[in-house]
Amino acid sequence: MIKFDYSNMMAENIGEEHGVGKGVLDGMAERARRAHDGVVAKKESGKIGFLDLPYDDALVARIREEAGRVSSEFENFVVLGIGGSALGNIALRTALNHPFHNLLSREKRDGRPRIFVPDNIDPDRLNGLFDILDLKSTVFNVITKSGSTAETMSQFMIVRDRLMQELGRGEMPKHIIATTDVEKGALRKMAEEEGYVTFTIPANVGGRFSVLSSVGLLSAAVSGIDIGELLIGARNMNARCSSPNMADNPALAGAVLHYLSRTEKGKAMLVMMPYSHRLKDVADWFRQLWAESLGKKYSTGGAVVHTGQTPIKAVGATDQHSQIQLYVEGPNDKVVCFLAVEEYNSRVDIPPLSGEEDGLSYLEGKSLNELILAEMRATELTLVKNSRPNCTITMPRVDARSVGELLFMLELQTAYAGELYNIDAFDQPGVEEGKQFTYGLMGREGYEEKRAELDDLEKGRITYTV
């Protein structure tokens, strides 16, 4: 079971100036209960659907079947998507596949395809991918909830055209799986007209909350991840989080503590720092979740509030050698959240030394496992010594069940935090505005006003360059 340890966020351990007082935390019990009830009410009214995702057994069966077909027919599986339509896929892959999955022989991959998620429209990146793919043995899973995102759809148009050029009009649809809204958007229309296999993203599940829907589950199942276990983990966490009491509900406790650190102690940033390289892309995924959900201009009542906490990714032990100096001695404006594992999936021992290596004998007989845990402990206590708030989420090990628990806990923590800030954690007007400006710039019909607005902004700007 996942454990959330917030001792080092508390005033008793890091002092009153930067730590949350026990009395203040206890005094939040009623607001925490209301935040919990608010999320439950949103679920019951159908506004949010992510809480239902772990229970869709029919979808799991269908995805398993499709993953089996894909694995037997293709060598490469490419996800075309961006933001919430890509980051969950990447997080699951990095956490649960062999660290060098794509470099293993097919046999060592248990017959599973290689998985690619380009997650960007940089022309060099996409061209580079085409250099290594044989289209005959490649299937593309295009994922976009809106069915119109410029990055995803432009990639898709390029891929579709290449498939037609190289394999012919008749073969092209067999190499495409579309994951999109049940009825809306250009992709759904094309899928129906051209006959792609399709999966549906529920209307009330936003991109950043969609990892446990067909968005994240298909590529996971294709790569060999046990999606059933993933969802059991999520269900277990959901059961734990059914309580409105912080003492029983780790996601609620996390939400309240981060909220207090932000609003009472000025901690404007939240650094997620996994000490398991497998979890490094969970930190990326979380960055989007926390940023897009909580970074809002307006409260639900319409007041200008400018809420949010900047999420940062750091990886232990790597970033001890790049970022920790700042976190220990720079502005005391962050909370560091460590992701820890009790047990790594393998053990690597440091070999006996010849006796001539100066100052290295302390490593003899130890393992990398002990070293990385010592590094985490040392970093944690250095932060404590310098009154820097930090917390630790510990997983027994990185397996499908624990990852399901972790992702679900972080989603719920974000939903509760939205209630505490009194904002809508499930919209993203800032992202939508950027999308609309892009459409305007690219000449999309219906976005002429957006284009004109941009032109006005450009005109009024004074330029400084060197």
Q: Is position 223 an interface residue for ligand PA5 (rule: CB under 6 A)? A: no
Strand order in the sheet with 197-200: 114-116, 76-80, 138-144, 176-180, 197-200
Q: How far apart are CA 292 and CA 271, in angstroms?
A: 16
Of 119, 284, 292, 411, the residue at the interface with ligand PA5 (CB under 6 A) is 292
Choose between 261 and 288: whose C-beta lies nearer to ligand PA5: 288
Instruction: Please say if 277 is a catalytic residue.
Output: no
Interface with ligand PA5: number of residues (CB under 6 A):
15
Choose between 145 and 401: whose C-beta lies nearer to ligand PA5: 145
Q: Is position 146 an interface residue for ligand PA5 (rule: CB under 6 A)? A: yes
Q: How far apart are CA 35 and CA 421, in angstroms?
A: 9
Of 8, 71, 76, 85, the residue at the interface with ligand PA5 (CB under 6 A) is 85
Q: Is position 202 an interface residue for ligand PA5 (rule: CB under 6 A)? A: no
Identify the active-site residue in 145, 175, 258, 292.
Answer: 292
Choose between 270 and 398: whose C-beta lies nearer to ligand PA5: 270
Of 32, 39, 82, 335, the residue at the interface with ligand PA5 (CB under 6 A) is 82
Q: How far apart are CA 163 and CA 96, in angstroms?
A: 30
Identify the active-site residue in 30, 107, 193, 321.
Answer: 321
Q: Is position 216 an interface residue for ligand PA5 (rule: CB under 6 A)? A: no
Contact 51, 426 (CB under 8 A): no
Tokens of 328: 């220990």
Nearest to 438 by CA among 146, 129, 101: 146
Q: Write phi, then psi, for 251 (nearest 5 degrees).
A: -70, -35
Of 19, 49, 54, 84, the residue at the interface with ligand PA5 (CB under 6 A) is 84
Instruction: Please say if 450 is a catalytic residue.
Output: no
Q: Is position 274 an interface residue for ligand PA5 (rule: CB under 6 A)? A: no
Hey, which residues between 425 and 444 contact ligand PA5 (CB under 6 A)? 428, 431
Stretch that binds ligand PA5, among 3-11, 36-44, 202-210, 386-394 (CB under 6 A): 202-210
Tokens of 288: 């989007």
In the stretch 148-167, what mask flags binding to ligand PA5 with x, by CB under 6 A? Answer: -x--x---------------
Instruction: Please say if 98 is a catalytic residue.
Output: no
Strands (E), 1-124: 3-5, 76-80, 114-116
Tokens 């960055």 identify what position?
287
Give yes or no for a cis peptide into 317 (omega within 30° of 0). yes
Q: How far apart are CA 250 and CA 235, in angstroms?
A: 14
Instruction: With H, G, I as helix, E, B as strand and everything else as coil, classify residue 365.
Output: coil
Amino acid at 188: R
Q: How far apart are CA 32 and CA 114, in angstroms?
A: 44
CB of 84 to ligand PA5, least distance (A): 3
Hey, which residues are catalytic here? Answer: 292, 321, 435
Q: Under the rule (CB under 6 A), what is the footprint of ligand PA5?
A: 82-85, 144-146, 149, 152, 206-208, 292, 428, 431
